[in-house]
Amino acid sequence: MTVAAGAKATAAGEQTSSKVTPANYGRFTLYEIEDSVRSAIELLELVVDEHGEIVDEKLEGQILERLNQLNLAKELKATNVAVYIKSLWGQVSLLEQERIKLARREKSLAKKAEWLTKYLVSYLQLDPAKPGMLVSGLRANIGWRRSDSVEVIAPSRLPLPYQKASIAEVSDEELAKHGQVLRTLEGYRTDPRKDLLKKRIKAGLAKGRKYTHIARLVEKYNIQIN
């Protein structure tokens, strides 16, 4: 079999096996279309002999036409994929906008709930150290839950195991007042380790000790709405 005859047989097989055309490109992936392009290029090499002469111009024309069809199908497929990508990013953008709206609404509702809670507490509880008025109803129940927290009068006077150093950057107000030179400065402050303090104070209270000069345990009742 001559080179040209082999090319014709291979071309015929390729034409019937892949069948990728600009009309039905949607059924194929870009990989499959690209594979057909590579096959067509390999066929094109078969119509040229070792001296660089074209042995079958008609077959060459058919293969070139096939390549044009495949490249058009590839372009159409790539365009469709690009349009789909644009659609996906459009949906992402819409979801991001919706997320921002929901976050703003969440923040607004939380502030409103906090304000109304303080408003309710101001009328039902006279002393934070004591439970307020109990309310029971079909739609809502109002109760009070005891909690304790550590109140530190002088953090710098605490023993070192109960202190932690915190670094605070220069505030925007200080930056506006004193200029960019403050950007390299940092402020240090001493914060109490309230978790350890609470355990120590509770242990001391159990033994009859009092901690009132530096830190103390403050009991209060928080409103509970069910």
pLDDT in tens, 138-156: 899 999 999 888 878 777 7
Confidence label for 13 from pLDDT (cuts 50, 70 and 90): very low
Domain range for 216 is 142-225
DSSP 171: P
Question: 41, 49, 46: which is closest to 6 by C-alpha?
Answer: 46
In a domain, 157, yes or no: yes
Residues 83 and 146 in one domain: no
Burial grade of 106 (CB within 10 A; 0-12, 13-18, 19 or more): exposed
**Average confidence (pLDDT) over 33-62:** 78
DSSP 182: G
In a domain, 74, yes or no: yes
Confidence label for 206 from pLDDT (cuts 50, 70 and 90): low
**H or E segment to which residue 143 belongs:** strand 142-152
Residue 157 pLDDT > 90: no
Residue 54 pLDDT > 60: yes
In a domain, 100, yes or no: no
In a domain, 63, yes or no: yes
| Domain final position from 44, 60, 89 | 89
**Could you tell me the two tokens for 110?**
């939380």
**H or E segment to which residue 4 belongs:** helix 3-18
Question: 1, 6, 13: which is closest to 47 by C-alpha?
Answer: 6
| Domain final position from 70, 89, 108 | 89
The amino acid that residue 66 corresponds to is R
CB 188 within 8 A of CB 166: yes
Confidence label for 9 from pLDDT (cuts 50, 70 and 90): very low
Confidence label for 69 from pLDDT (cuts 50, 70 and 90): confident
Residues 12 and 75 in one domain: yes
Q: What pLDDT score was predicted for residue 112?
A: 96
Longest CA–CA span in the chain (Å) reads 109
In a domain, 203, yes or no: yes
Residues 153 and 85 in one domain: no
Q: What pLDDT score was predicted for residue 177?
A: 63
What is the number of domains present in the chain? Answer: 2
Residues 220 and 155 in one domain: yes
In a domain, 104, yes or no: no
Residue that the structure tokens 């976050």 belong to: 103
In a domain, 132, yes or no: no
Residues 152 and 74 in one domain: no
| Domain final position from 89, 105, 131 | 89
In a domain, 161, yes or no: yes
